[in-house]
Structure 1
Amino acid sequence: MNPPRGMRDFLPADKARRERVLAIIRERYRAHGFDEIETPVMEDYDRLHAGIGGDNEKLSFSILKRGMDAESIRAAADNPAALADLGLRYDLTVPLARFYATHRASLPTVFRSIQIAPVWRAERPQKGRYRQFVQCDIDVIGDASANAEAELMVASLDVLDALGLEGGTIRVNDRRALDAMLDVFGFAPDERPGVLITIDKLDKVGPSGVVAELRDRGVTARAVDAFAEYLARPASQRSFDEVGIRAALPAGIPAEVVAHLVDLGDTVAAARGGAVPLVFDPFLVRGMGYYTGTIFELAHPSVDYSLGGGGRYDGMIGRFLGQQVPAVGFSIGFERIVDLLPDTAADGERSIVLVHDRDVSTAQLLSLKTALIAGGARVRVERRAKNMKALLERSAADGYASFATVNVESTPETLEIKPLA
């Protein structure tokens, strides 16, 4: 009796742990001036497949139209759009764009949103990859400056600090720099989507593997030669300033792109007390097709994978409004982060299990329980068992930190509360 593949049940202790982490994320994001919204789990099929969701559109769960009989289903079998009119959201960015287009008149000029909710993708289930998972997104809509990206980065680094994961850094690039770089090397416009897919594998297959795959793709040979020469250059300075950024890029990158990145670094450094927890990575790609400018990924030294990411998507909301609206977002990888954190079951919470004898009345138990709750405790009542060790171990596994035995003479003042651990 398992849940559907790629989806999970959560026992009480797991659920409580997840909620504690979510509470910290919410609290820190709200402290930075972001406001939480909620959108439906479903959106129109056409909106989810409008060409703005990248490869995730292929992973969308569609919902069969109501009232279709067998004959109409067979007739539409080769046309998914004729079979479905709704779908489960595969991310929170497309719903946010639709939300903003719907409610723009009621929102501030610069809107800072929080969305924390489950999304669904028809992934092939494997370790760390699920078909239902929680996303924690913050977005800034209406600000085209580097200040918007800086706000997202500072708030997200603050979340890591609050969760006890200090030392996080953010890898940064710009899709405009990537496009200019491919232009400098000489890749044709129609070759670039495939070239970016290959470049995105640099961490996995290394420079020689990337160059070999580009040659196998049959793209412009002179461009591959120029790119190979660029990869073979001596390691450049890694500082996140104009010197470091220009040293990491070939000549010919637009000055306004470099200036935007430098401004971003200066702003984050000021907010973080002078340190710049940013790393410029000219090969960071991120696969979402709607990114138009700065892109970034959250890293932590304890793991070799990202803990979140995002970027600027200035063109998406314009699809719904008919006019350009600047927007940038950051998504924390909640499922990855919650697995990294130690199991701090009690988290400072006063939680007590009252283990009572058979002859203790319900009235006395509820009176004791009510008094402890009024004092700020979380209380569970359990009848004394023959195997007390098993009872106490289960209580500890459920997140309780202490216990007290109750007899007919017990009062709130005489209870002897002992730690479970």
Structure 2
Amino acid sequence: MIRIRSTAPVQVLAHSYTKDGAGDTYAVLPITMASTSYSFSLPSTADGGLSMVYFLPAGSDAEISVKLKTKDSQQTMNFDIKKDDSSDMMMLGGPNKPFTVYAKGSAPFVVLIASKQVSVGGKYRDFMCTMPMSDAWKSKPKKDNTPQHYLADVSTSAYFYVTPPEDVKQIDVHGSNGESKQISAKDLGHKMRSFADENLGTHVDIVGKSLQVERIGDPHSNGVFLDMIPAYNQWLTGPAAFRPRHKGDQLLIFGENVTAKSCELAFKPAQSPPSWKQIKGIFGGSVFATSVKTLNADPLIITSACPYVALVVGTRDHHAYAYTPAMNLPNSRAPPPPAPKTTTIPSTSTTTSTTTTSPTTSSTTSTTSPDTVPTKATAGSTARTFATTAGASNCAPVIALTLFSIVDAIIR
């Protein structure tokens, strides 16, 4: 296990790749974002593949209870993780079918999820991984019961997994072409939902309470990645910095109309300001998007006094990677959803899945299906880091960035 401490704001990106180039890049979440409750999903893998979930302590020992659900079965597992026992870890290997995990702990912990040998069409297989946000970071303040909005680009995404809390009954999906659909939450637990095939336009707005929205792609490169989509109330204000992995990485930025007017990008060498496109069917047309190709792998800075979110997508040798460099703490921001033009999605079209990993001190109990097998994993086999800065909250004048450090953790 790798620990990074800093007295200044940092962003840590982890790159996990095999010798043949299969892999993914993800932002590592700090232990300040750790919590006692998580819910997430993972897709099926090809023959010989494996989905993995790691549970890491966040400063104290914790007793973990995991509920793993597939379409046909449910398992319950209980184990302990020790703050001082990082020499090796217990990995929970999930089934090669889609599954969802609900995990709760007696103390805060963090989670790492990954899948290897994920089929992306034809002969190609890829590896994907990410660090899911805890339920506490997905939730809004208790006094605000408004659903959250998760905006995503469809063109770079093969499909989406949406994992709601167990008490959520319905998810709404609004498309940039003005169409809207409703998904029963009971269908989300075990069936994949591919928004790209639903004729919803170039972008989608996924609406629900405390969702874990996972974006899986890229359908155009025969590669696959796993990335978490932050809610609208976690969009940034102020500066954010990151380092692209390769020349030609695609930077996608979503923001409001005022964001498009105030957003600045600092590249080396300098590039022309990006052009912004209005997404007419989302938030009543108040959201704009832009896409920029990086000219090199040097650090770049995004600055805006108004809300925005940045997503990075890259491909290399038939493998894909994507990550969200930074996000804010949840707040009470949430625009009203557009008036839905609703059709019901059949129960055969949705899917969710999850993976979980944990340290060596775990013991499994109350198992009702043999799908999940605990195995040993060497220390440091995966690691992630993430940092964010927040600026003005009311679209004040653009803030100049004075200091921002970037750390890359390369895991092979």
TM-score (norm 2): 0.25
TM-score (norm 1): 0.25
Judging by fraction of residues, say which structure has more strand: 2
Which one has the largest radius of gyration? 1
